[in-house]
Amino acid sequence: MRKLFGTDGIRGVAGEHPVTPEVCQRLAGALAVLFHDSTMENLTTAAVRPSVIIGQDSRISGDMLERALTAHFASCGVDVRLLGIVPTAAASILTKKLGANAGIMISASHNPFRDNGLKVFDGEGSKLTDDAEAKLEGIMMDDALLPPSGGEACGLVRQEDDGLAIYRNLLMTSSVFDKSEAAAVKIVLDSANGALSSTAAGVFREFNFDLVSIHDSPNGSNINDGCGATNPDVLAAAVIEHQADVGIAFDGDGDRLLLADENGDPVDGDTLLAILIRDGNFPRRPVVSTIMANLALEQYLTAGGRELIRTAVGDRHVFEEMRRLDAALGGEPSGHIIIASHAHTGDGLFVALKLMECFVRSQKKFSEFRNVFRPYPSLSENILVMNKSVIHLPEVEAALEQAKATLQDNGRVILRPSGTEPVVRIYAEGEDQRRLREAVDLLRNVIGAVR
């Protein structure tokens, strides 16, 4: 069982294991080893000195972790190119575009500012596979395998000042709007005081949208604080207050998004996937989502002659399956949407632009435009636990089977451990809301008694 890597890299409270300068040093040393390991696909190097890209979101602890990584990479003979504050997608895209051997994004995504994390990309800009993470962690945990530091072969460190401009230019050249039509669309844009705070509003204004930008002033501790994609009520209130046509909110590192229509009603990732399939001119290939995707999305895709492929939770699992199937589009209900032709990870800003292209063309209100399918009702609860393996206890497994039986053939129940928090998650969906409540209550009560 892995001790460092979870659903999305290494994550925890900044300054506490495993998000410490020491772990950063071990990560840098282990990657330096793998750069010279010809068996490590996409993390190899030529005879020249290897290089790594490092980006971060707006958390106050980002500089501490960046400096720990940078010093140890350089001491192991690896060049370091610092992007500063950028969205996760920019770190992924620039890792490949700038020819780095690997990339690291310092971020805890939608978590509060006290948390932080380390997301690792291979030379193609893809998050590491389970096998690659296991190999990397094995080296990190073994002092005998880590390389000595220091000596004459130090790496160079430089600030990549053009990185954000390259990313922004990519967005500008891949989107097309009639500026007169865009000017008629009023958008509330919530940047979560995160990595997109200095980029997103400028891009939308460049396309001439009537924009209200909120939560775009990060101070190191206000990231995701009562704002962003995890706070739909805040976005809804702002849309109604400003009488906007649509609201768009990102999370702290900009790899996921939430939309709201003109009434403030939220639009989740399942619906966004369906809109892109309906209006986005994507090739007729399977669509990849996770076990959390609503059954109604699957039925919608099936009716249109497409197959929905489900994976474990986590956008890296989604992309691995997309790559295997040569799928063009994938995502999660939480708002991670991956467009394979653009990036190997979610890019909230790019996806928002694609959705706005479709919306502007539609000449409809967003409440009409979003009407693709009717999701099955659902309930979800998070239960704080001391040990997430509680889900494997016989009484919990029996309760799960009983909960599934409660819904009969008209729904489903999922019980899974969080990869980022000390909780287990209950999710149920189906036609009968009373039965949903019974199923969730049953599981919550049993887990609460044994946790």
Q: Active-site residue numbers?
A: 109
Note whether 435 and 411 are within 8 A (CB).
Answer: yes
Compute and round to an integer the Cα radius of gyration of the chain: 22
Tell me which amino acid residue 92 is.
S
From the number of C-beta atoms within 10 Å of its C-beta (0-12, 13-18, 19+), residue 237 rates as: middle
From the number of C-beta atoms within 10 Å of its C-beta (0-12, 13-18, 19+), residue 326 rates as: exposed
Nearest in space to 275 (alpha carbons), one of 211, 183, 368, 348: 368
For residue 418, what are the contacts with CB-CB under 8 A and spacing of at least 6?
7, 382, 388, 424, 425
From the number of C-beta atoms within 10 Å of its C-beta (0-12, 13-18, 19+), residue 166 rates as: middle
Rounded to 5 degrees, what are φ and ψ at 190? -110, 110
**Secondary structure (3-state) at 151:** coil
**Secondary structure (3-state) at 224:** coil
Tell me which amino acid residue 296 is.
A
Question: Is the bond preceding 18 in cis, omega lying within 30 degrees of 0?
Answer: yes
Strand order in the sheet with 423-430: 378-384, 423-430, 411-417
What does each C-alpha distance from 344 to 45, 318, 381 come to in angstroms? 21, 10, 30
For residue 320, what are its two tokens? 């691995």
